[in-house]
Structure 1
Amino acid sequence: MLTAIIPKLPMRNKNATIDYYINQLGFTEIGNYEGYLMLQKEHIEIHFFEFKDLDPKTNYGQVYIRVNDIESLYESLLANKTEIHPNGSLTTKPWGQKEFSLLDPDTNLLTFGERI
């Protein structure tokens, strides 16, 4: 009986991760432990594990987040001066999704998508 999936992404600096996800993306902290962080926004929960030696140039952490009203979310992030991935502006994809992407401070790729 599966009920949810919670991605676990690497982080080098907990304070930088907290700053980005809370101040840029609007998440709230729901758990903060030695080497581990738990954040939530609405029904989405993401966990982070400390990986101080992570090379962001070789990090392949990725999360796909389904959303409603993607255009409003995109505009709110632009208004908050959140940097959009250079190749990830809001576009309609051939697989029936409207998507955009962000890179967090550790280059974890966050892709937001809405069915069209």
Structure 2
Amino acid sequence: MLTEIHPKLPMRNKSVTKAFYFDLGFKNYGNADYDGYLMLYKDKVQIHFFEFKNLDINENYGQIYIRTDAIEILYQSFLKKNIKIHPNGPLEIKPWGQKEFSIVDPDNNLLTFGESITNQIFE
């Protein structure tokens, strides 16, 4: 049975990636410090990163969708920290019943945050 998912995204520079995600409130997962690999977590979300020094950010289409139960608070906390909201991803209600916004990390990985505005499950 499936129990969890931990997406793996490319990163060019471990210290830059770490600093960006720490600003979002993420922390190191565990005590291990692997060369070329990074594991971070916040609340119940864990994201892994693998080193890809020659990544062309114009050709990186890494994306993850992170569900939240406090979208307004999260959005406001990012604004207060001057975290740039994606120009095509402001906080808004989508036709599929989610309130969402998006940001892009230093390696052009798209992070979309969403909260259900209905109790309906879409399949």
Runs of 4+ more than 2 Å apart: none
Report the counterpart of residue 105 of structure 1 in structure 2.
106
| CA deviation after TM superposition for structure 1 residue 69, in Å | 1.3
> How does the TM-score come out when normalised to structure 2?
0.92
Per the alignment, residue 2 of structure 1 pairs with: 2
Please list the CA deviations of residues 19-54 of structure 1 after superposition, one character each: whole Å capped at 9, or x if unmatched.
00002x000011431110000000000000000010
Counterpart of 2:67?
Answer: 66
Identity %: 63
Distance 1:110 1:49 in 2: 16
Q: Equivalent residue of 1:32, what SS?
A: coil
- Count of equivalent residues: 115
Distance in 2 (CA, whole Å) between partners of 1:113 and 1:57 is 25
- Please give the residue correspondences for 1:69-80 in structure 2 after superposition, counting only pairs within 5 Å: 69-80=70-81
Higher-Rg member (1/2)? 2
- Structure with a larger share of its residues in strand: 1
- Scaled by the length of structure 1, the TM-score of the pair is 0.97
After superposition, what is the alpha-carbon deviation per residue over 1:66-112, rounded to whole angstroms, capped at 9, x for unaligned? 00110110001000111100111100000000000000000000000
Verify: 1:28 aligned to 2:27, yes or no: yes
Unaligned runs of 5+ in 1: none
CA RMSD of superposed structures (Å): 0.7
Q: Which amino acid aligns with 2:84?
A: E
